[in-house]
Amino acid sequence: MRHDKQQLNYVLFLIAGSGLVTIARATTLSFLAIKLQQSFGLGPAMIGALLGIGPLVGAVTAPFAGSLSDRVGRKTVMTFTLLSMALALIGMGLAETVLAFCIAQIVAAVALAIYEPISRALMSDVCPEPLRLKYFSWRYTATNVGWAVGPLIGIAAGATSTTLFVIAGVVYAMFALVLHMLNVPIYQYDDISKAPASTPLLESLKAAIRDPRLAFFLGGGTLLIAVYGQWSATLAPYLTGNVAGGMEIYAYLVSINGVAVLIGNPFARRFIQGAGALNGLVIGCMLFVFGEIGFLSAAGFWGLAASMVVFTLGEILVVPCEYMLVDDISNERNRGSYFGAHSFSTIGNFIGPTLGGAMLSAFGGPGMFLLFAGFAAISAILFAIGTRMPPPIAAARQSSTGTSLPPAQPARFDLPGTL
């Protein structure tokens, strides 16, 4: 019982830390597109390409980190990642040229691509399975407190303020220090770290190849992240270039996104538990479609605000559902590899701003918003197909690899959790 209490306290620490660093992130990274547009005079296509390079590198790097965390521990990888993020934020604040700014931004994007799957895997390691949906939802709520508060702080202090970037870097460094000092209360930790060694990237690729379900989840997740992962990189240039007072409206929309998550997340948890992860994800995809069409047809602030609420409802359904589907097909030994391999989907953070920015430059808002609506619809189809694929029976029998899968059985889509 004492150990269980330590585990839950550690999960609460991770949740609080995620909320704190998200505030630091939201006060700075929310305005990167506007900074590149106003400070360096770049157009939508170039902004999208520059902001997409970092996530592209991160998509390749994250599987290494995911498998590495299975061997050396999540805490070690997370601490290094948070320190890298701290240095990158300070670098962006002090950068005086586009090149220096973009190098620091790439480091930050890679750090974020690594941090997300590793932090989720760590929470799964520590948190008892029946409580995972509950505490993961709390984590998602905490991060969106940051997204609700951060942009308003950024606007008040100045979206391009050097001081904000430096303060944000210090916050990340403090979280890294405390994380390093605390012990991780996991019974299975030693077993995980002593799993047979293998090349991290190859193990992640093998996991994806052996499990067709993960391959379809990867394809669907890539398209979903293209829609919601970096929507600020495309929506911000659209608003500032096509709507009066676009910068202020954009900041309010980011805050509306965060507030809508805070209000809607408890209801979303109950809905997911009753409807199942797959149904919740498909409905979330459809809400993305309606939200994108709403952005396209909105004539003013209130139309944009309503569309953002619809878009956010899709987000609060999709994010936990996708997490639970991936968690369901993994186990304690291969969870880092599965989440690491699935993090290839963060390539969507490159596809979204790059293709979206190109469509915005070539065809305006209609081309960009319809592209994202199509991505959301296709993603729902891919996830539906993936859940009907059988588990990799042959791989399940290869216990000598150290990444053995559970005995073949249909994937479950009910979400255990105490609400």
User: Looking at residue 335, what is its pLDDT?
Assistant: 65
Closest CA to 183 of 84, 80, 333, 79: 79
Which are the contacts of 399, defined by CB distance < 8 A and separation ≥ 6? none
Nearest one of 38, 179, 131 to 324, comparing CA atoms: 131
Token pair in block for residue 373: 């609506």
| CA distance linking residue 18 with residue 30, whole number of Å | 16
Tokens standing for 268?
């979303």
- CA 304, CA 312: separation in Å to the nearest integer? 12
Rounded distance between C-alpha atoms, residue 91 and residue 114, angstroms: 19
Say how far apart CA 400 and CA 232 lie, in whole Å: 45
CA atoms of 146 and 259, how far apart (whole Å): 10
User: Which residue, among 280, 294, 313, 274, has the nearest Cα to 416 in the 3D structure?
Assistant: 274
**Taken in order 325, 329, 331, 336, is the CA torsion positive or negative?**
negative
Is residue 389 within 8 A of residue 213, CB to CB? The reply is yes
The pTM for the full model equals: 0.67
- Res 208: pLDDT: 55
Q: Which of 372, 244, 251, 232 is nearest to 300 (CA)?
A: 244
Are 210 and 408 spatial neighbours (Cβ–Cβ below 8 Å)? no
339: number of Cβ within 10 Å: 30
3-state SS string over the chain?
CHHHHHHHHHHHHHHHHHHHHHHHHHCCHHHHHHHHHHHCCCCHHHHHHHHHHHHHHHHHHHHHHHHHHHHHCHHHHHHHHHHHHHHHHHHHHHCCCHHHHHHHHHHHHHHHHHHHHHHHHHHHHHCCHHHHHHHHHHHHHHHHHHHHHHHHHHHHHCCCCHHHHHHHHHHHHHHHHHHHHCCCCCCCHHHHHCCCCCCHHHHHHHHHHHCHHHHHHHHHHHHHHHHHCCHHHHHHHHHHHHCCCHHHHHHHHHHHHHHHHHHHHHHHHHHHHHHCHHHHHHHHHHHHHHHHHHHHHCCCHHHHHHHHHHHHHHHHHHHHHHHHHHHHCCCCCCHHHHHHHHHHHHHHHHHHHHHHHHHHHHHHHHHHHHHHHHHHHHHHHHHHHHHCCCCCHHHHCCHHHCCCCCCCCCCCCCCCCCC
Query: d(Cα 312, Cα 279) in Å, to the nearest integer?
Result: 17
Per-residue pLDDT of the chain (419 residues; tens, 9 = 90+): 455 777 788 888 888 988 888 888 888 887 787 777 777 777 777 887 888 788 788 777 777 776 677 777 788 889 999 999 999 999 988 887 888 888 998 999 888 878 887 887 788 788 777 777 778 778 877 887 887 788 778 777 766 677 888 899 999 999 999 988 888 766 444 444 444 444 445 555 565 557 788 888 889 999 999 999 778 778 888 888 888 878 788 888 888 887 887 788 788 888 988 888 889 999 999 999 999 999 998 878 999 999 999 999 999 899 888 888 887 776 666 666 677 677 778 788 888 888 998 898 889 889 999 999 999 999 999 999 988 887 776 444 443 444 443 333 333 333 333 32
Q: What would the two tokens of residue 87 be?
A: 């240095």
Helices 200-210 and 212-228: crossing angle, nearest 10°?
110
